[in-house]
Amino acid sequence: MSGDLLRIEGLTKMFGGIQAAHNIDYTLSKGEIAAIIGPNGAGKSTVFGLITGAQKPDTGRIWFEGRDITGLPAHEIVNAGISRAFQVANIFPKLTVLENVRSSLQVRRGHVFSLFGDARRLCAEEAGELIDRCDLSDKRLLEAADLSQGDKKRLELAIALSSAPKLLLLDEPVAGMSRDEASQTMDLVTRLNEEMGLTILFTEHNMSIVFGHAKRVLLLHRGEAIIDGSPQEVRDSPVAQEIYFGEQVL
Ligand SMILES: Nc1ncnc2c1ncn2[C@@H]1O[C@H](COP(=O)(O)OP(=O)(O)OP(=O)(O)O)[C@@H](O)[C@H]1O
Ligand SMILES: [Mg+2]
């Protein structure tokens, strides 16, 4: 299908007796910025895990740029162009910001063992660009452990960008942040979408973040896709009101 970057059909995943994803159909076009919302346990992170190859679906298929990526190992899915950010484990706390991003670039390129020479210099240059893009220029020589929560997230974002993704998945990108840090981080995410043309799918419980930044919203409930539409359509939907927004402050 032309224009579809990601296409999901009939995706189902059971954990024991729990239906974490049930027969989900979903597509994302190039350049979109969209959110998946839903109550705790709705299946949002499960969908991310299935897309990134962390989990294998019981049934259903996932296509990326027209290629069937269902069940591929996670590193092949990264190579295909899907990156998931905000996994703190990616950061080495004792390395500087620059070293973190550079070593990630080197690993992605298979340059782990060429610690000297051109490969290293090239990666350092590219790391510098990613760091600038993620508003960390003046922190490049700080150890990751010494960064604020917001700066750590920006570093995770720079690391996620080091695989040159076409689709970026962000699972609760501003969880635990102050209001200022959250809005700075989401402004950066918006810039990555608008300026780099990166397609972005994020999950979030804070509805002002969702409605302020997503152009399309998918509501999940008990593993099922309930409604997929514009923020306005989802906000105004009686079923969304009943399932989710009833308990939320909008
Ligand atoms: N690895 C797993 N093993 C067993 N059950 C799991 C596993 N991962 C998720 N689940 C269950 O699947 C359901 C969906 O979980 P998931 O983490 O996808 O929800 P979520 O929408 O991301 O929730 P939250 O908003 O709390 O992050 C939940 O009932 C959860 O307990
Ligand atoms: Mg989750």
**Residues constituting the chain:** 250
With b for 16 or more beta-carbon neighbours within 10 A and e for fewer, the 27-51 pattern comes to ebeebbbbbbbbbeebbbbbbbbbb
pTM of the model: 0.92
Going from the Cα of 161 to the center of ligand 1, the distance in angstroms, rounded, reads: 26
Query: What pLDDT was estimated at residue 86?
Result: 64
Name the residue at shortest CA distance from atom 18 of ligand 1.
43
* 229 alpha carbon, distance to own chain's centre: 19
Distance from residue 47's CA to the centre of ligand 2 (Å): 9
Q: What is the CATH number of domain 1-81+166-178+198-250?
A: 3.40.50.300
Q: What is the pLDDT of residue 115?
A: 56
Which pLDDT score, from 0 to 100, does residue 175 have?
A: 85
Using the 8-state DSSP alphabet, how is residue 144 labeled?
G
The domain locations on the chain are 1-81+166-178+198-250, 90-164
Taking only the tens place, the pLDDT of each residue in 58-80 is 999 999 999 999 999 999 999 99
